[in-house]
Structures are given as C-alpha cells and as structure tokens.
C-alpha cells in the first residue's frame, strides 16, 4: 500500500478478505443472499494498523465461527448504516486514496465515496493478486487434496457413463461423491456435456435430462473445495465405439495439454503457454474449434489471474497454480476436453491431478 500510495483498502467478504484475515466466505448461491446493511460487510486495512472489520449482525450470528469479537464493528438492523460508516471514517482519518476489492458492490462504493470525501479510487486486485498467485506449502497441500478428490470421483463416475443415463443424473452423482470425500461445496457448477454426430449440441449447454446415447463423447468439468481452496478438472469418455476422427481429436487434445505443461516454465509468459498448447491443435487442423482459453490461475477462487490466454503477458513464477484445459468442440461432429491443475516449479511444471489421460471407452 505504501509503494502504491494507497492510504486505505476496503475488502468485502471475498477470497481476498479470507486470504488476509481468515474471515470465511459463505458458499456461493444462485441468487443473492442479502441482509440489512449487507453492503457494509468487509474490512478496512491501513499500513501499521489493525484491520477494522465491519459486519451486519446476521453474519456475526450465523456465518462467523465463534461469533463476534470485541474487535468487530457489529451493525444491527435498526442502526443507521451511514452514521456507523461516518464514525468509522472519522476514526480512520483522512484518506486521499482508496483501493477496493474487485467484487465490491456498487452500493458499497457509493457509500464509501460519500463517507470518505470522494478519494481517488483504484483496484485492490493490483495489490493482492500478486500475493495470492504464489501458493505456500500449506496452500499447496489443500489444493493437492482438492485435486485428489476429483481424481477419485472421476474413477467412481467413469464406469457409470452409459447409454440411458442423463447428464443431470451424472452431475448429481459427481457432487455427492465429492461431498462424501470432504469437499465443502462444488467449486463451480458441475458441467457434463455429450457431443457428436447425432445432433448439433454445443459446449454452451452444460447439463440436460436427455439420455446419453451410444456414439457420443461425454465431457466432464467439475471441481472440489478443501479449506477454501479449489480444484478444476476435466476428462472425456466415449460411449460406444469411437470413430477415427474422435480418436485423432482426443490425441490432439492430450498432446496439446502436454505441450502446455512443457512450456509452463519459470519466466515464460502465460500467453506463451497458451500459444504452445494452441499450436498443437492448429497444426492438427482443428484450430477453429479450440474456442476456449488454455487455462487460468486457481486457488481460493476457481478462476484467478493470471489467465493462460493469448492476451496475458504475466511471467510464470514458482508456486503459481493454474489449469491447462485444451478442448475441441465442433457442434454436430466431435467434442473432447481435458483439464488438470498444474503448479509451476523451479525446473518446470507438474500436474497436481493423477487421474490417467488414457481414453476411456464405455460400451
């Protein structure tokens, strides 16, 4: 903050706040879980001072382990939120510059600007993301467990991918098996999609109740959460007898991931890793159908910066964790993907996942 000339930092409840203070996030939900004065939930941080944590009463009652401590400003339903914020602002002192977490509500920012005298604003990601990119040994252990969970789940679910079962049923089983193995929640909405020559199905429709048919490939995309840390994983299983084109596409996807992992060395840019992975598929004649980025960093959030994508010039550093997830999706023709979490180390990169990449064919 000193180097960036930032007087004050505000973080809402988020991965950033959990990383710096241990205040946990609630499991994600489809809608918005809201409380009175929920816009105030978060913490103010300054150099050489303890954080000032501000939370609505409902969060301290039901979402904070151990309840509220004396160090937390608890905002009750009947309180005047703006008056509470004004008192906090007076105690914090003058702030010419304010950095806010990227996931701060617009409502929060409106109140903050009014209370703090319209300070210069900046994105707190620029301060915090460089810290979160490099995983400690303890963080790496949690991510390794999250990776092991999805490996084990894929081994259980793979034999169930048969004609007649639906993608929705398989997704429910995936989520159940992750929970049984200690995953707190899914790290994102579990995706399963069958593609092939039987219809024009594309990768954008992740789950249906249509029974899986022989002659299609079934691609998985799911992740677990262990102590707040995420995994993200993918494999493709073919139902029936795959034709020569599918086998070629599958081999290209596997080779593309291997090229990306080989390229993911210290000092190499994220965009260079994307190019290495993409080149394999382009030279194989399917470049038009590699429509996804090659990957993304991962940790407390399932998608973090940097992205393993053509626009990202971030150099890789030892301790960074990210996915390598090439795919080919050609609607009405062929589809295949693979995804593993990879860690950059001093002398190269290694996969955290151990699940085999060999093509699985279920009759």
- Domain layout of the chain by residue ranges: 8-131, 134-362
pLDDT at 129 over 70: yes
Give the separation between CA 72 and CA 54, rounded to whole angstroms. Answer: 6
> What is the reported pLDDT for 208?
83
Mean pLDDT lowest among 69-83, 233-247, 277-291, 307-321? 69-83
Residue 68: predicted pLDDT: 66
Q: What are phi and psi of 59, to 5 degrees?
A: -70, -40
pLDDT in tens, 16-51: 999 999 998 888 778 888 999 999 999 999 998 999
Q: What is the pTM of this model?
A: 0.94
Q: Are the CB atoms for 7 and 95 separated by under 8 Å?
A: yes
Cβ-count burial of 360 within 10 angstroms (0-12 exposed, 13-18 middle, 19+ buried)? middle
Residue 67 confidence (pLDDT)? 66
277: left (phi over 0), alpha (psi -120 to 50) or beta: alpha
> How far apart are the C-alpha atoms of 133 and 16, rounded to whole Å?
12
Give 230's pLDDT tier (boundaries 50, 70, 90): very high
Please list the alpha-helical segments (H only) found in the chain: 15-21, 57-62, 81-92, 106-116, 125-133, 137-157, 167-180, 244-263, 270-283
Q: Are strands 360-362 and 233-239 parallel, antiparallel or unpaired?
A: parallel
Q: Is 50 helix (H, G, I), strand (E, B) or coil?
A: coil
The CATH number of 8-131 is 3.40.350.10
Q: What is the pLDDT of residues 189-207, one digit of tens each?
A: 999 999 999 988 887 777 7
- SS3 at position 307: strand
**Torsion 76-77-78-83 (CA) sign:** positive
CATH of span 134-362: 3.90.230.10
Least confident piece of the model among 28-37, 164-173, 219-228, 297-306? 28-37
90 φ/ψ angles, rounded to the nearest 5 degrees = -65, -40
User: Do 221 and 259 contact (CB within 8 A), yes or no?
Assistant: no
Count of beta carbons in the 10 Å neighbourhood of residue 7: 19
Query: How far is 169 from 211, CA to CA, in rounded Å?
Result: 10
* More confident position, 203 or 219: 219
**Tens of pLDDT along 335-348?**
999 999 999 999 99
Q: What does the chain come to in residues?
A: 363
Which of 126, 103, 135, 133 has the alpha carbon at shortest distance from 3? 126
């Amino acid at each position: 903050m000193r180097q960036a000339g930032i007087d004050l930092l505000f973080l809402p409840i988020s991965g950033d706040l959990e990383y710096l203070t241990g205040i946990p996030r609630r499991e994600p939900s489809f809608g918005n879980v809201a409380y009175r004065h929920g816009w105030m939930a978060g913490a103010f941080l300054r150099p050489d001072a303890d954080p000032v944590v501000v939370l609505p009463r409902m969060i301290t009652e039901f979402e904070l382990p151990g309840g509220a401590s004396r160090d937390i400003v608890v905002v009750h339903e009947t309180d005047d939120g703006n008056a509470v914020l004004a008192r906090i602002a007076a105690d914090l002192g003058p702030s010419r510059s304010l950095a806010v977490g990227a996931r701060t509500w617009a409502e929060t920012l409106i109140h903050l600007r009014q209370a703090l005298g319209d300070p210069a604003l900046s994105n707190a990601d620029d301060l915090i993301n460089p810290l979160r990119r490099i995983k400690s040994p303890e963080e790496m252990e949690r991510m390794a467990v999250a990776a092991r969970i999805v490996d084990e789940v894929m081994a259980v679910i793979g034999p169930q991918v048969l004609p007649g079962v639906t993608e929705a049923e398989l997704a429910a089983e995936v989520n159940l098996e992750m929970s049984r193995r200690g995953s707190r929640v899914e790290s994102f909405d579990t995706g399963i999609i069958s593609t092939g020559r039987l219809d024009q199905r594309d990768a954008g429709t992740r789950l249906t109740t249509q029974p899986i048919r022989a002659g299609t490939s079934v691609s998985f995309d799911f992740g677990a959460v262990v102590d707040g840390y995420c995994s993200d994983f993918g494999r493709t299983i073919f139902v029936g007898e795959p034709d020569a084109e599918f086998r070629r596409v599958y081999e290209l996807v596997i080779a593309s991931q291997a090229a990306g992992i080989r390229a993911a060395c210290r000092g190499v840019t994220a965009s260079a890793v994307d190019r290495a992975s993409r080149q394999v598929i382009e030279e194989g004649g399917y470049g038009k159908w590699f429509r996804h980025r090659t990957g993304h960093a991962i940790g407390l959030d399932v998608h973090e910066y940097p992205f393993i994508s053509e626009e990202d010039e971030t150099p890789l550093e030892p301790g960074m964790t990210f996915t390598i997830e090439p795919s080919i999706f050609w609607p009405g023709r062929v589809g295949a993907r693979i995804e593993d979490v990879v860690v950059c180390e001093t002398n190269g990169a290694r996969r955290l996942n151990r699940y085999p990449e060999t093509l699985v064919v279920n009759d």
